[in-house]
Amino acid sequence: MVATATATTGTDAASMFTLTDPDADYLRLQRLSSTEVDSVAESLQRDEYRLMARKVFAANRIAEHTLDQMIVTAPITTGYIARQVDKTAASQVAIALNVPPKVAREWMWLALALADWPGIRAAFLDGRWSFSRTSTMVAELAVLTDPEVRAFAEVRAITLADRPTAERTLRNQIAEMVIALDPDAAAERRKDFAESAQNVTVTDEAHGHVNVHATVPAEVGLFLACRIRELITERVCSRDPRPMGRLRVEALKEIQGMPGEVLQCACGDEFCSRGIPLPPVPQPDPELDLDYAPRAESGADPVPNPPRDQRTTTPPIPQRLGGSDPAPEHQSPRLPVALVPPRSPITPRQSIARQSSLTVITDPAGIASPRLVGYGAIDPQHWHDIAAGQLVTRMDAPELDLPELDDPGVELAAIGRDLAAWQTVDVGADRGPAPPVDPTGHGGYAVAPREALRYRPPEWLRDKVVALDKICRYPGCGRDASACELDHVVKFDHADPASGGWTVEFNLMPLCRADHQRKHLGLWIPTMLTDRAIVWRNPLTGKTVTTFPG
């Protein structure tokens, strides 16, 4: 995170407050101006992280002293006693710091794990990250055993952690690196985890509800999420008054085949565009005549229609597929539609036919790990396993190479040279940010491509932007790009499309719906760079935050 505003140091921020007079400190906070409050809050947060790191190591020292005392007073002779030693140490930490034993164990684990990661430990003590972010890093890196590989991965992980990304994004990025370093080991860890952790549990909840918790393979969970989302989109309009959580439960009832459960729109409009024709509930009618009159012979006089008040609901004689002959006499007549029990809303065959296949993005060069859209990096063997079925489709990872776009009518060569020159600088040096793409929002084009003056991007362009960026590009958000909307970095001008931002690759970014609305409030102004990094500037304070593709 880069800040251009003058930052208050941790010491200065702490000296602003008495820390002993709550009322005085509260009044001081209320008097902070809009240009002061950001830097003060950031400095206080840095101090908080520093103190948290020291508390973690202090808690571990309490546990170590407890273990030393127990070894002297009660020698460990059985496995049961050994397990109780760890629990007793965590209990002592919990009592001393008034936290649950689970929290105490998490502190102890991180303190012990950081003994093997000196770079991460130093940054943690310096207050660069929260406890949760540091734990996420170490948990993903802990599986590495080779010293040289660990040293390389630690440097890369520190760089990734310094970016203003969501923890989900950081976890996926480190997991992708770990998979790439040893794909075979990653596949073995996945199989071991499946053996020990896969499960579905149903536990009691209040007010006649239960909690359903499932640990399943990523493709299984994504498939269920897609089916629920598709069903809601197909059946429910925007006027349905139910909250989204309730709709998901109603969709799940139908998907799992619960008798009589069909998701229907509750907007109350009989002409709702999302309504579905449902079969009537069968009601026995003793007066209904189930005898069928034979069809008149060809050339014979047709049977006259009875008067309207004498007609029955008897349907015409059932026909055989592919012909017009009546059913043979030995075949039992079919029941009227009104008496046929409704079929299950979703049969296995229908489910396969209607499903939206999941997408896996693969590197044609075989270097980068496969990426399951909606989840993140997976090991190559996992990709091969799920590719054997009907569940996924493959997409080649798109390349970010501006010079290839230097066609007639397109002026991208200069931008491409800038990017190439920036990329040739030694990674170890401070080469600074990549150059901006195009402040006009035209993405470097001199003449608008065919789709550029249309507001909605074509499907191929959306797929490419989603594959390149992977996540929502707003600061701090980790929502998967496949669930986001595409927004123009420079606003599209509906009145005069040629003068506004164009619908081209280097003027589009994925934003989740909430962040899309925030962007239009103007709280942060984005500028896209040639490596697809986006610099967000606060117009009030001048502070900048740079986000990167996931």
Q: Looking at the domain assignment, is residue 259 inside a domain?
A: no
CA 420 to chain centre: 32
Q: Looking at the domain assignment, is residue 523 inside a domain?
A: yes
Is the CB of residue 226 less than 8 Å from the CB of residue 480? no
Please indicate, yes or no, whether residues 391 and 449 belong to a single structural domain of this protein.
no
C-beta neighbour count of 76 within 10 angstroms: 14
Q: How many domains does the chain have?
A: 3
Q: To which H or E segment does residue 534 belong? A: strand 534-537
CA-to-CA separations, 168 to 52, 216, 225, 533, in angstroms, rounded: 21, 18, 18, 19
Write the DSSP assignment of 170-239 as a string of letters. HHHHHHHHHHHH-HHHHHHHHHHHHHHH-EEEEEE-STT-EEEEEE--HHHHHHHHHHHHHHHHHH--TT
- When mean pLDDT is compared across 49-53, 112-116, 302-306, 506-510, the lowest value belongs to 302-306
pLDDT surpassing 50 at residue 319: no
Q: What band does 272 get if pLDDT is binned at 50, 70 and 90?
A: confident
- When mean pLDDT is compared across 170-174, 288-292, 472-476, the lowest value belongs to 288-292
Write the DSSP assignment of 244-288 as a string of letters. HHHHHHHHHHHHTT-TT------S--TT-TT--PPPPPP---TT-
Residue with tokens 């046929």: 340
Q: Looking at the domain assignment, is residue 308 inside a domain?
A: no
Q: What band does 531 get if pLDDT is binned at 50, 70 and 90?
A: confident
Which amino acid, 458?
Answer: P
Length of the chain: 550
pLDDT the model gives residue 286: 47
Q: Looking at the domain assignment, is residue 351 inside a domain?
A: no
Q: Determine if residue 246 is left, alpha or beta; phi over 0 gives left, psi from -120 to 50 gives alpha, anything else beta.
A: alpha
Q: What band does 276 get if pLDDT is binned at 50, 70 and 90?
A: low
pLDDT surpassing 50 at residue 312: no
Q: To which H or E segment does residue 69 belong? A: helix 34-73
Last residue within a domain, chosen from 199, 230, 265: 199
Please indicate, yes or no, whether residues 26 and 157 belong to a single structural domain of this protein.
yes
Torsion of Cα atoms, 296 then 297 then 302 then 308, to 10°: 10
> Mapping DSSP to helix (H, G, I), strand (E, B) and coil, where does residue 259 land?
coil
> Mapping DSSP to helix (H, G, I), strand (E, B) and coil, where does residue 50 land?
helix
Tokens of residue 5, six digits: 């505003």
**Alpha helices (H) in 342-457, listed in sequence order:** 348-354, 380-387, 413-423
Please indicate, yes or no, whether residues 384 and 492 belong to a single structural domain of this protein.
no
Q: Looking at the domain assignment, is residue 252 inside a domain?
A: no
Radius of gyration of the chain (CA): 32
Last residue within a domain, chosen from 375, 396, 417: 396
Return phi, psi of residue 19, to 5°: 65, 5
Please indicate, yes or no, whether residues 392 and 409 belong to a single structural domain of this protein.
no
Which amino acid, 441?
Answer: G
| pLDDT tens-digit series, residues 112-136 | 999 999 999 999 999 999 999 999 9
pLDDT surpassing 80 at residue 450: yes
Please indicate, yes or no, whether residues 379 and 500 belong to a single structural domain of this protein.
no
Please indicate, yes or no, whether residues 30 and 47 belong to a single structural domain of this protein.
yes
Write the DSSP assignment of 369-388 as a string of letters. PPEETTTEE--HHHHHHHHT
Is the CB of residue 524 less than 8 Å from the CB of residue 536? yes
Closest by CA to 16, choosing from 39, 4, 35, 2, is: 39
Please indicate, yes or no, whether residues 39 and 141 belong to a single structural domain of this protein.
yes
Tokens of residue 456, six digits: 């909605």
| pLDDT tens-digit series, residues 454-487 | 999 999 999 999 999 999 999 999 999 999 999 9
Please indicate, yes or no, whether residues 532 and 389 belong to a single structural domain of this protein.
no
Is the CB of residue 132 less than 8 Å from the CB of residue 118? no
- Rounded CA-CA distance 524/164 in Å is 14
The residue among 294 and 266 whose pLDDT is bigger is 266
Domain that holds residue 18: 10-199
Which amino acid, 113?
Answer: A
* Angle in degrees, CA 349, 351, 357, rounded to 5: 120
Return phi, psi of residue 535, to 5°: -95, 120
Q: What band does 296 get if pLDDT is binned at 50, 70 and 90?
A: very low
pLDDT the model gives residue 282: 55
pLDDT the model gives residue 395: 85
Please indicate, yes or no, whether residues 95 and 153 belong to a single structural domain of this protein.
yes
Mean pLDDT over the full length of the chain: 80
7-20 mean pLDDT: 66
Sign of CA dihedral 340, 346, 348, 354: positive
Q: Determine if residue 470 is left, alpha or beta; phi over 0 gives left, psi from -120 to 50 gives alpha, anything else beta.
A: left
Please indicate, yes or no, whether residues 459 and 503 belong to a single structural domain of this protein.
yes
Provide, rounded to the nearest whole percent, the portion of the chain with pLDDT above 90: 53
Q: Looking at the domain assignment, is residue 205 inside a domain?
A: no
The residue among 270 and 528 whose pLDDT is bigger is 528
- Rounded CA-CA distance 141/489 in Å is 35
Please indicate, yes or no, whether residues 169 and 28 belong to a single structural domain of this protein.
yes
pLDDT surpassing 60 at residue 490: yes
Return phi, psi of residue 371, to 5°: -130, 120
Please indicate, yes or no, whether residues 61 and 92 belong to a single structural domain of this protein.
yes
**Predicted TM-score of the model (pTM):** 0.73
Give the DSSP letter of residue 540: T
382-396 mean pLDDT: 84
The residue among 372 and 284 whose pLDDT is bigger is 372
230-236 mean pLDDT: 91
- Rounded CA-CA distance 485/463 in Å is 12
pLDDT surpassing 70 at residue 78: no
pLDDT surpassing 50 at residue 178: yes
- Rounded CA-CA distance 547/550 in Å is 9
- Cα of first residue to Cα of last residue in the chain, in angstroms, is 16
Which amino acid, 6?
Answer: T
Q: To which H or E segment does residue 393 belong? A: strand 392-396
CA atoms within a 13 Å half-sphere pointing along the CA-CB vector of 39:
21
Torsion of Cα atoms, 367 then 371 then 377 then 378, to 10°: -90
pLDDT the model gives residue 58: 97
pLDDT the model gives residue 278: 56
Last residue within a domain, chosen from 182, 199, 216: 199
pLDDT the model gives residue 203: 96
Is the CB of residue 486 less than 8 Å from the CB of residue 462? yes
Q: Looking at the domain assignment, is residue 18 inside a domain?
A: yes
195-222 mean pLDDT: 95
Q: Based on the number of CB atoms within 10 Å of its own CB, is 41 exposed (0-12), middle (13-18) or buried (19 or more)?
A: middle
pLDDT surpassing 90 at residue 34: no
SS (H, E, C) 83-108: HHHHHHHHHHHHHHHCCCHHHHHHHH
Q: What band does 351 get if pLDDT is binned at 50, 70 and 90?
A: very low
Q: What band does 328 get if pLDDT is binned at 50, 70 and 90?
A: very low
- Rounded CA-CA distance 59/194 in Å is 33
Q: Looking at the domain assignment, is residue 510 inside a domain?
A: yes
Q: To which H or E segment does residue 396 belong? A: strand 392-396
Q: What band does 422 get if pLDDT is binned at 50, 70 and 90?
A: very low
DSSP strand pairing (508-511 vs 485-488) = antiparallel
167-183 mean pLDDT: 92
CA 314 to chain centre: 53
Closest by CA to 505, choosing from 371, 398, 374, 425, is: 398
pLDDT surpassing 70 at residue 77: no
Is the CB of residue 319 less than 8 Å from the CB of residue 325? yes
